């Protein structure tokens, strides 16, 4: 057996799950960031829009004052409102056509606005000139007589709201990434542990302990189903290995015995002084023994061919009646010689999909057995009937097989003690069993009252 390859336990960071988790996290982060950017942008748009609304409303109010009460009235109102606005949220400036300030809480027309009318953004310094000051969004209007009015509103509140939202979004993103990494780590570790456990079991089996099996977590997840399949596979392998072991033990026994007989026979004739006739007889016996050995050997090979299921390609559509008739006809003289009546009957028009030679061999083995174990005056009948699928039966009126031994006779080299004296290698029924398995058929032994009835039941044809 090859030396087991010792592998380092897989590093967590290199596991598929973790990589998968990371890449999902990456995709999620990017899409979350895009979403956050969109939210942040639309919030600030909304806030600015609100500021503009406020400014417009204020300006509308002021323009009504101007219409009703003219420039001085407007100046009064502006000054009054500017005084009331203690927090400095709103900026007003009413400027005469010569450029001097008529009313308002700004010292001068902002440079950023220049001569332009419409929306303008500028910064006013804080009291004392420290800090960045506040940004103001203002609207410049032109009144009659070249007077100009500027109404603005501080964006400080909007800034605060915006940064609060951004902060919240940022934290959310950070939490997402953190949770993703931690979650990925833990799921990966969990997966890795289960995979590692499987790997350990596999290595132990590889190391020779065939009894090891994967443990199931009981959650019925995909790992469990994988482990269950693996365990089933191991059961099958163990069964096959056991089969091979039994077979090699049996081969050792059943081939060694005749080989030993062969050897001692030659040994014996070489020891003494013998005539030519003795040598000839011994050689003839030796040849017969060798032929028996070869027959056993070829039976073993045929069984393993049938079992390897490599023959499917040779399957053809057959007439089971023809098969039964051929076998019956082949064995009829032999049966007659033993004073056994061999007959066959078959339902016409049935078809079977299979390997002609193997099926013939299997059927021949069954008929051979039946004729061999049926006493003179008995009957053997081969019949082809239609149940669920085609079934071929071989029934005899011999001694039969006791119920508790029926299972056992299908094993290789098993011969019941009562049959030890008749020739045979104990492979006949195993071969039939192997051929049956290759064809998906079931082989069953039953009681014929008296005698044995062997049934080869083929599966019902499926569709097509």
Partner 1 sequence: MRILVIEDDSEAAAYMAKGLKEAGHVVDHAATGTDGLFMATSERWDAMIVDRMLPGLDGLAIIQAIRAAGNTTPVLVLSALGKVDDRVRGLKAGGDDYLVKPYAFAELLARIEALSRRVSATQPETRLRVEDLEMDLLARTVSRGGQDIDLQPREFRLLEYLMRHAGQVVTRTMLLENVWEYHFDPQTNLIDVHISRLRQKVDKDFEPALIHTVRGAGYTLRAGR
Chain residues binding partner 1 by CB under 8 A are 284, 287, 291, 294-295, 298-299, 301-302, 305, 311, 313-314, 326, 329-331, 333-334, 337, 355-357, 360-361, 364-365, 368, 372, 423-424, 428
State which residue, 222 or 337, has the beta carbon closest to partner 1.
337
Shortest spacing between CB 366 and partner 1, in angstroms: 11
Let me know: does 78 contact 101? Beta carbons within 8 Å.
no
- Choose between 57 and 294: whose C-beta lies nearer to partner 1: 294
Compare residues 142 and 291 and give the one whose CB is closer to partner 1: 291
189 burial (CB, 10 Å; 0-12 / 13-18 / 19+) is: middle
Q: Length of the chain in residues, anyone?
A: 464
Residues 6+ away with beta carbon under 8 Å from 215: 197, 201, 227
Query: Smallest distance from the beta carbon of 254 to partner 1, in angstroms?
Result: 15
Report, in Å, the least distance between residue 429 CB and partner 1: 12
3-state secondary structure of 342: strand
Structure tokens at 266: 């030659």
Bridge partners (DSSP) of residue 122 are 136
Q: Would you say 366 or 445 has its CB closer to partner 1?
A: 366
Minimum CB–partner distance for residue 357 and partner 1 (Å): 5
**Residue (110 or 398) nearer to partner 1, CB:** 398
In three-state secondary structure terms, 142 is strand
Token pair listed for 370: 């039946």
> Minimum CB separation from partner 1 for residue 408, in Å?
20
| Calpha distance 147→145 (Å, rounded) | 5
Measure the CA–CA gap between 447 and 122, rounded to whole angstroms.
Answer: 109
For partner 1, the closer CB: 249 or 329: 329
Closer CB to partner 1, residue 169 or residue 306?
Answer: 306
Which tokens is 31 given? Answer: 């899409």
The phi, psi pair for 371, rounded to 5°, reads -65, -40
Q: In Å, how far are 56, 67, 118, 285, 397 from 144, measured between CA atoms?
A: 19, 10, 16, 141, 132
Cα–Cα dist 340/331, whole Å: 10
CB of 323 to partner 1, least distance (A): 10
Residue 289 CB, nearest approach to partner 1 (Å): 14
């Amino acid at each position: 057996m090859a030396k087991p390859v010792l592998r380092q336990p897989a590093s967590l960071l290199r596991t598929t799950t973790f990589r998968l988790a990371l890449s999902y996290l990456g995709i999620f982060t990017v899409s979350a960031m895009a979403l956050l950017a969109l939210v942040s942008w639309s919030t600030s748009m909304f806030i600015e829009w609100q500021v503009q609304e406020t400014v417009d409303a204020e300006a509308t109010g002021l323009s009504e004052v101007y219409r009703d009460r003219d420039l001085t009235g407007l100046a009064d109102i502006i000054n009054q409102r500017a005084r009331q606005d203690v927090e400095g949220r709103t900026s007003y400036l009413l400027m005469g056509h010569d450029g001097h300030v008529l009313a308002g809480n700004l010292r001068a027309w902002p440079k950023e606005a220049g001569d332009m009318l419409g929306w303008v953004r500028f910064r006013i310094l804080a009291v004392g000139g420290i800090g960045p000051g506040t940004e103001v969004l203002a609207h410049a209007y032109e009144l009659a007589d070249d007077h100009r009015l500027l109404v603005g509103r501080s964006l400080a509140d909007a800034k605060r709201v915006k940064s609060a939202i951004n902060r919240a979004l940022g934290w959310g993103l950070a939490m997402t990434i953190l949770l993703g990494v931690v979650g990925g780590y833990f799921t990966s570790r969990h997966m890795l542990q289960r995979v590692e456990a499987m790997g350990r079991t596999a290595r132990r089996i590889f190391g020779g302990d065939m009894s090891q099996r994967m443990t199931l977590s009981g959650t019925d997840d995909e790992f469990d189903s994988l482990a269950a399949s693996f365990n089933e596979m191991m059961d099958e392998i163990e069964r096959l290995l056991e089969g091979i072991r039994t077979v090699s033990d049996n081969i050792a026994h059943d081939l060694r015995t005749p080989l030993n007989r062969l050897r001692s026979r030659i040994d014996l004739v070489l020891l003494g002084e013998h005539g030519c006739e003795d040598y000839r007889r011994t050689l003839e016996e030796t040849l017969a023994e060798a032929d028996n050995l070869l027959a056993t050997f070829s039976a073993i090979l045929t069984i393993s061919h049938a079992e390897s299921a490599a023959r499917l390609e040779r399957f053809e559509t057959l007439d089971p009646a023809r098969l039964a008739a051929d076998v019956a006809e082949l064995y009829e003289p032999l049966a007659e010689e033993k004073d056994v009546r061999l007959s066959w009957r078959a339902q016409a028009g049935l078809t079977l999909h299979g390997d002609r030679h193997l099926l013939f061999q299997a059927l021949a083995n069954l008929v051979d057995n039946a004729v061999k174990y049926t006493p003179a005056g008995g009957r053997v009948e081969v019949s082809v009937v239609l149940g669920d699928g085609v079934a071929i039966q071989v029934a005899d009126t011999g001694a039969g097989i006791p119920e508790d031994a029926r299972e056992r006779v299908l094993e290789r080299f098993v011969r019941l003690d009562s049959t030890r004296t008749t020739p045979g290698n104990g492979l006949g029924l195993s071969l039939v069993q192997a051929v049956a398995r290759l064809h998906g058929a079931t082989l069953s032994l039953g009681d014929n009252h008296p005698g044995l009835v062997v049934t080869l039941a083929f599966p019902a044809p499926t569709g097509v």
